[in-house]
Amino acid sequence: PAFVRHFALFSLPKPNEETLTQIFNGILLGFLGSFSGAIRALSEPMVTACVDVYMRVANVMLPTPDRSHYIFNLRDLSKCIQGILQATNLHYNMESQILRLFYHETTRVFHDRLINQDDKDLFKSLMKDVCKLHFKRVVVQDDEPAILFGDFMIFGKPKNERIYDEIKDHSKLESVLNDYIVDYNSMAVGKHMKLILFQDAMEHTVRLARLLRSDRGNGLLVGIAGMGKQSLTRLASHVNEYNCWQIEMRRNYDLNAFHEDLRVLYRIAGIDNHPVTFLMIDSQIVEEEFLEDINNILNSGEVPNLFEGDEFEKVILDARDPCNEVQKPETCTRDDIYKFFINRVRNNLHVVMSMSPVGDAFRRRCRMFPSLVNCTTIDWFTSWPTEALYSVALGLLTKIAPNMEDRVSLASTTVFMHKTVEDASVRFYKEMKRHYYTTPSSYLELLKLYQNLLKTKNQDIIAKRKRIANGLNKLLETNEVIAVMPEGAGGDGTPAGREIGHDEVAAPRILQRRPSRRTPSSRASWRTRPMPRRRRPWPRPYPRMLARIWRLQCRHCARPKMP
């Protein structure tokens, strides 16, 4: 009280529904002025529906320890209206088009952060009630596939000529995204992507492409490691013609090194005026001060004391001419130039944070750095569905199993193995209260291990088959040579043509066993020398000498006798 008494206190309560409707209806009605009369009439119902959805979600879906990111504010409501402002009067001329756009943008803001199917079903039921209440119709059917919007369905079209429209053909979406993957691999150096696009992956890619194309759009991707968050972010950045930028971790990487990287990133966005995606994963957060800077970037775009001294003067000098061109005929002051530089950074720099919900680090960081939730669009990555696992296995097993029937059997087996481990991990947590996480990366490792093991076994079998084939070829060649030789070749007077005696055959067999040192034959060889007077141990060369004598005797006995 002694401190507060020196100040005048002002309490700003939250605006009520009428105030919010009046504010956003003025914005949307002014934007829809060039549209048809039927669409202009939907301005107030859409704003009222957005406010109603925001109020219901904020009251029903409250934050819990497992749902620490269930925090909703007016920024979320403004994102819904901002998404509707992406429509164009040349392509949106029917009520159903603008209403489906409203449904899509509201779903992206509120639905994509939900962590389980129960919450998602609750949100769908809520949206159905809101649409019936304010529009007197059902906008999206229950059995309808996921509604998606994008502006990249014409491959190679310049970004300034793209139209943000509904994506109705999902097979065409897969083909277009594969074209973007091929184009990315042809341009990237050392970072090739090998993605198999299934329905869930395509939906996440469209979501990421949407938040990156939004004005000052930033994202928070939450999911266990190995869900494909980084790869899909690179793909979405390439779809929007952005450069995806990451810090390179090295030894003794600290806050000063992080600030050096941020200065490089700020110059790309603020001086070069190039849009860039800054992708950062939680394993790169070696110090919590990194998140303090990220929190400032998301909130205001400015990191305190990032540019000082000569660095600040260099920024002012490089940004002076672009600032003067924008504010002609007035001359920009130093404060105006730096403000212009920061605004450019906020418009061109899109921060995407990838974090894991495992443990209490995510919950603690959301509490300590609120801009991670308040100033981003959250996309929660759940475990891959069975269809995704099946389609990925079919794609990866194409080379080793060309036959479709064999490939289907192998894919079904791998999916069964992965699902069995998932069920066992759930039971393990219930019984032991310990988590065991099975991620898509572990499933991909299973497929890779099977491919490598199959390749190794095939190589072993091929090597053994070649060895047996070589032996059989030698036998066949020998049989052919023997068959060609004339009978009785050599004559009777030659050694090859005479009969071998029984003694000649038996002599080598008799001497197959090597005699010991005490046998008479061996004693006869060394008794030729005079015996010493006293008994001495045999010298070392004796065993070798005996072996040499033994070989000579064997040769002599095995020599054929002359007739």
Do 125 and 221 sit in the same domain of this protein? Answer: no
Domain that holds residue 89: 11-149
Instruction: Look at strands 349-355 and 219-222 and give their pairing.
Output: parallel
Helices 229-239/199-213 angle, 10° precision: 50
pLDDT the model gives residue 44: 92
Of 440, 464, 488, which closes a domain?
A: 464
* 356 shares a domain with 246: yes
Is residue 102 a contact partner of residue 81, using CB atoms and an 8 Å limit?
A: no
- Whether residue 528 is predicted with pLDDT greater than 80 in this model: the reply is no
Is the distance from CB of 74 to CB of 19 less than 8 angstroms?
no
- Distance, CA of 462 to CA of 418 (rounded, Å): 31
CA torsion through residues 252, 253, 256, 260, sign: positive
Given a cut of 90, whether residue 429 has pLDDT beyond it is: no
Q: Is there a domain that residue 1 lies in?
A: no
Residue where a domain terminates, one of 413, 443, 464 = 464
Whether residue 390 sits in one domain with residue 353 = no
- Whole-number Å distance between alpha carbons of 81 and 23: 11
**What is the mean predicted confidence (pLDDT) over 120-142?**
92
Q: Do 361 and 236 fall within a single domain?
A: yes
Spatial distance between the Cα atoms of 123 and 111, rounded to a whole number of angstroms? 7
CATH number for 133: 1.20.920.30
412 and 269: one domain?
A: no
Q: Which of 332, 362, 380 is the last residue of a domain?
A: 380
Q: Provide the token pair at 428.
A: 């393990």
Domain count, the chain: 3
The pLDDT of residue 1 is 66
* Euclidean distance between CA atoms 557 and 508, whole angstroms: 7
Tens digits of per-residue pLDDT, 348-383?
A: 999 999 998 888 889 999 999 999 999 999 999 988
For 137-205, list the strands marked E by DSSP: 149-150, 165-166
Q: Is residue 3 part of a domain?
A: no
Burial of 114 (0-12, 13-18, 19+ CB in 10 A): buried
pLDDT in tens, 62-104: 998 888 899 999 999 999 999 999 999 888 989 999 999 999 9
Same domain, 138 and 55: yes
What are the DSSP calls for 45-112, one per residue?
A: HHHHHHHHHHHHHHHHS---STTTT----HHHHHHHHHHHTT--TTT--SHHHHHHHHHHHHHHHHGG
Contact 291, 285 (CB under 8 A): yes
Tell me, yes or no, whether 16 lies in a domain.
yes
Closest CA to 443 of 385, 380, 358: 385
pTM: 0.78
Tens-digit pLDDT profile for residues 133-190: 999 999 998 888 889 999 999 988 888 889 999 999 988 999 999 999 999 988 877 6
Beta-sheet strand order (sheet of 276-281)? 243-245, 276-281, 349-355, 219-222, 377-380
Tokens linked to 532: 């010493």
404 within 8 A of 398, measured Cβ to Cβ: no
Query: Would you say residue 281 has pLDDT above 80?
Result: yes
Q: How far apart are CA 544 and CA 537, in angstroms?
A: 15
Residue 495 has pLDDT above 80, yes or no: no
Same domain, 96 and 181: no
Sequence-ordered list of residues with C-beta below 8 angstroms from that of 10, at least 6 positions apart, any chain: none
293 and 425 part of one domain:
no
49 and 125 belong to one structural domain: yes
The pLDDT of 472-487, averaged and rounded, is 82
Average pLDDT, the chain: 85
pLDDT at residue 8, rounded to an integer: 86
Query: 254 and 300 share a domain?
Result: yes
Query: Both 225 and 367 in a single domain?
Result: yes
**What does the pLDDT read at residue 382?**
86
Does residue 37 sit in the same domain as residue 123? yes
pLDDT at 503 over 60: no
